[in-house]
């Protein structure tokens, strides 16, 4: 198979594919590749920044979980993913902010059709420079789009086919002057933001939507809940309405890409980055750097 790189300017990128490292945006799929044509792709995303890779092991493990949940074959062991990720990080300047993305996809369809062949599963690991977002104002609203259920989409996997729905929600919200939006499940309960999990604070108590099979129970989300509870903060996972968010004292998001971000406006109501968000961010920062300090 010919391996070529796109001419589109991108940030520095290295991809491990078919036994070797390749620089740039490697051409790994063709027009008849099932993953490109019909979306049989799963992935995960970890972060490297400031010399740390928080929860890298859990992200690599979830890539294999997603493959199994989707029906692909997780042909890379957890230890191999970890070793390649660390090797890839060393190809960049120390301390670089990176996105680390393991991927699986089906190469062919059975009979050339919609049903993919699990035995054709292929994979790569892509790392690229991606700055950590700084603090900024973030305005959100309610999206007209909703999260799917397990009967309608592979919600147990971090599957690429789930993300166009979030993308169109972001695009629609942007036409109304918002940076992000809350999506509800099919019953009207808030599930998450279009690209991250979400928390609200009321009278010092933290609330977050309870995982109900309609959104990914994020690794960073789970870590933030654990850290806040460990610090004595009450965190309640519950069914939440949009009205609950409109009445919140604070709203913040969690996700691998940006970690924690304060929401500063919901519809026309202005909010401030509050003390609970600050506490969560400090706890996460200390957690992320703990292994580095321990090894020093």
- Give this prediction's pTM: 0.93
Other beta carbons within 10 Å of 257: 14
57, 82 in Cβ contact below 8 A? yes
Does residue 48 come out as left (phi exceeding 0), alpha (psi in the -120 to 50 range) or beta?
Answer: beta
CA distance 249 to 44: 32
Question: What are 82's two structure tokens?
Answer: 């970890």
- Residues 135, 261: Cα–Cα separation, whole Å: 7
Structural contact between residues 260 and 252, judged by C-beta atoms closer than 8 angstroms: yes
| Buried b or exposed e, range 178-192, using 16+ CB within 10 angstroms | bbbbbbbbeeebbbb
Domain 139-290 matching CATH 3.50.50.60: the answer reads no
268 three-class SS: coil
Q: Is 86 helix (H, G, I), strand (E, B) or coil?
A: helix
Q: Which residues pair with 254 in a beta bridge?
A: 197, 260
| pLDDT tens-place string over residues 223-239 | 999 999 999 999 999 99
**pLDDT of res. 179:** 98
Query: Which tokens belong to 73?
Result: 């074959």
Tokens of 69: 């949940």
Taking 60 as the threshold, does the pLDDT of residue 34 lie above it? Answer: yes
Q: Residue 283 is encoded by which pair of tokens?
A: 């706890």
Helix (H/G/I), strand (E/B), else coil: 218: coil
According to CATH, what is the number of the domain 13-129? 3.30.470.10
Q: Which residue ranges make up each domain of the chain?
A: 13-129, 139-290
* Separation of CA 73 from chain center: 21
DSSP 105: E
**β-strand 180-184 against 139-146: which pairing, if any?**
parallel
Burial level of 42, CB count in 10 A (0-12/13-18/19+)? buried
Q: What is the CB-side half-sphere exposure of residue 33 using CA atoms within 13 A?
A: 18
In this prediction, residue 113 carries a pLDDT of 85
In which region does residue 18 sit, left (phi positive, over 0), alpha (psi from -120 to 50) or beta (all else)? left
Question: In terms of Cα–Cα distance, which of 43, 37, 1 is closest to 20?
Answer: 1
- H or E segment and range at residue 237: strand 235-238
pLDDT band, very low/low/confident/very high, at 130 (cuts 50, 70, 90)? very high
Listed range (47-51, 108-112, 206-210) with the worst mean pLDDT: 108-112
pLDDT for 2 beyond 50: no
Q: Which residue has the tokens 């599963």?
A: 121
- Is residue 1 over pLDDT 50? no
**Mind listing the pLDDT tens digit for each residue in 145-171?**
999 999 999 999 999 999 999 999 999
Residue 77: CA count within 13 A, CB half-sphere: 3
* Per-residue pLDDT reduced to its tens digit, 272-296: 999 999 999 999 999 999 966 544 3
């Amino acid at each position: 198979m010919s391996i070529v790189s796109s001419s589109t300017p991108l940030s520095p990128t290295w991809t491990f594919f078919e036994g070797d490292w390749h620089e740039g945006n490697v051409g790994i799929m063709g027009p008849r590749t099932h993953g490109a044509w019909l979306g049989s792709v799963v992935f995960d995303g970890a972060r490297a920044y400031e010399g740390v890779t928080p929860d890298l092991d859990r992200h690599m493990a979830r890539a294999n979980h997603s493959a199994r949940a989707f029906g692909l074959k997780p042909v890379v062991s957890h230890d191999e993913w970890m070793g390649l990720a660390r090797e890839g990080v060393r190809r960049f300047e120390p301390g670089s902010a990176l996105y680390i993305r393991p991927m699986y996809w089906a190469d062919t369809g059975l009979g050339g059709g919609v049903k993919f062949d699990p035995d054709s599963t292929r994979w790569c690991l892509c790392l690229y420079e991606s700055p950590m977002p700084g603090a900024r104002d973030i305005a959100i609203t309610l999206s007209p789009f909703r999260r799917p259920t397990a009967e309608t989409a592979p919600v147990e996997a971090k599957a690429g086919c789930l993300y166009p729905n979030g993308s169109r929600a972001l695009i629609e919200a942007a036409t109304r002057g918002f940076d992000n939006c809350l999506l509800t499940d099919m019953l009207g309960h808030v599930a998450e933001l279009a690209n991250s999990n979400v928390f609200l604070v009321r009278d010092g108590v933290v609330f977050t939507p309870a995982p109900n099979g309609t959104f990914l129970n994020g690794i960073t989300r789970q870590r933030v809940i654990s850290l806040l509870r460990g610090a004595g903060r009450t965190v309640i996972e519950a069914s939440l309405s949009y009205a609950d968010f409109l009445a919140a004292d604070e709203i913040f998001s969690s996700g691998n890409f940006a970690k924690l971000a304060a929401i500063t406006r919901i519809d026309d109501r202005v909010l401030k980055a509050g003390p609970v968000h600050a506490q969560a961010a400090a706890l996460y920062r200390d957690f992320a750097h703990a292994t580095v300090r321990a090894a020093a």
